[in-house]
Amino acid sequence: MFKSFIRKVHSNIVWPFLPNGIYCFNYHRIGDMNKSPFDPNVFSCTEELFEKHIQFYNDTFCVISVDDLINIINKNEFIHKKYALITFDDGYIDNYSIAFPILKKYCTPAAFFIATNHLDSPGIPWWDEIAWIIRHSKVALIKFCDWNEAIDISTGTITLNIRTILKKIKQDKMRSMEDKIKELENICQSKMTDNARDTKLFMDWEQVKEMSESRMHIGSHTLSHNILSHLSKKQQNEEIVLSKKRIEEKLGIKVTSFAYPVGGKAAFTEDSKLLVEQANYELAFSFIPGIISNLNKKERYQYKRLPVDNNCSISQLRQIIVKHK
Ligand SMILES: [Zn+2]
């Protein structure tokens, strides 16, 4: 309580002195995390809060699109303002049904990074499947063969337990995600039902096309959403090149931007950055927290973003901005 009060006071004092730069905000899902049978951690905020966030960005920043950013980079312009750039990863259906109408209402541009396999062969992505299995676990203690300690899901919140288990699963580079899901099914004695598997979680091409034609920016988030640093160079290249080609084919646009799946420091390599550049993307976004204050070539393929999650209020959003400025 006292700590959060101090954080609030601190952010109010520092706020007027925020540096110029590009404040790139990253969302995943919009909606009520408590109503989802899948991963609650991918919900950034509710619909009501999202509308407040958009009003806040428009009141506080000069909101730009990825195309505006590319123009600023190409003109070698000095960043003399506080810009905001709104991005969404993964292409969940609520990006179209909830976020898009609000963005249109406020004439606010945003960028959507899609993993094309999610549109071509709709299904449930690995993190949502893992969350579903954990939610339906028949046992309380979850322990993979290579873990030192078990995680007790009968204590703490389900949101936190899912986050902890997903984090550990993501760290294991040795086995395929398929194998890890099989092991989890065995441990939890639960397997996703066909009914759950039929849920429409992602947008379809028609919806993405409608957004693209309404001046929303569409970028690539690979084919499969596999973590690039876990793949061979050849596999990485396929993910980077073929997803771009697929979006261009389906939407009739030039794809200029890329976002690394998962996106933390460990999720991509120097090779990944080079392959993205060689595939003729103009820029790429990471999920490393921070603001973009330097548009030089070195940074261009790993721009930082500010994570928006956990239903954050405007006051918490201000604290995130101040923390990473
Ligand atoms: Zn993603």
- Residue 173 pLDDT grade (very low, low, confident, very high; cuts 50, 70, 90): confident
- Dist. CA 38–CA 33, nearest whole Å: 9
Helix (H) / strand (E) containing 235:
helix 233-251
Average pLDDT over residues 74-103: 94
Q: Which pLDDT does position 251 carry in this prediction? A: 97
Instruction: Tell me the CA–centroid distance for residue 180 and ligand 1, in Å.
Output: 19
Instruction: Tell me the CA–centroid distance for residue 5 and ligand 1, in Å.
Output: 33
Average pLDDT over residues 295-302: 86
Name which CATH class applies to 2-122+200-324. alpha beta
Average pLDDT over residues 99-119: 97
User: DSSP for 275-311?
Assistant: HHHHTT-SEEEEEEES-B---STTTTTSEEEEE--TT
- Residue 187 pLDDT grade (very low, low, confident, very high; cuts 50, 70, 90): very high
Q: Report the SS3 class of residue 83.
A: strand
Average pLDDT over residues 264-277: 95
Express each pLDDT in 56-68 by its tens digit: 999 999 999 999 9
Average pLDDT over residues 216-222: 98
Express each pLDDT in 238-251 by its tens digit: 999 999 999 999 99
> Would you list the domain boundaries of the chain?
2-122+200-324, 126-196
Taking each continuous run of H as one helix and of E as one strand, the counts in the chain are 14, 12
Q: Which pLDDT does position 223 carry in this prediction? A: 97
Count Cβ atoms below 10 Å from residue 142 Cβ, excluding itself. 20
Instruction: Tell me the CA–centroid distance for residue 286 and ligand 1, in Å.
Output: 10
Q: For the chain, what is the mean pLDDT?
A: 93
Instruction: Tell me the CA–centroid distance for residue 225 and ligand 1, in Å.
Output: 6
Q: Which pLDDT does position 324 carry in this prediction? A: 83
Q: Which pLDDT does position 157 carry in this prediction? A: 93
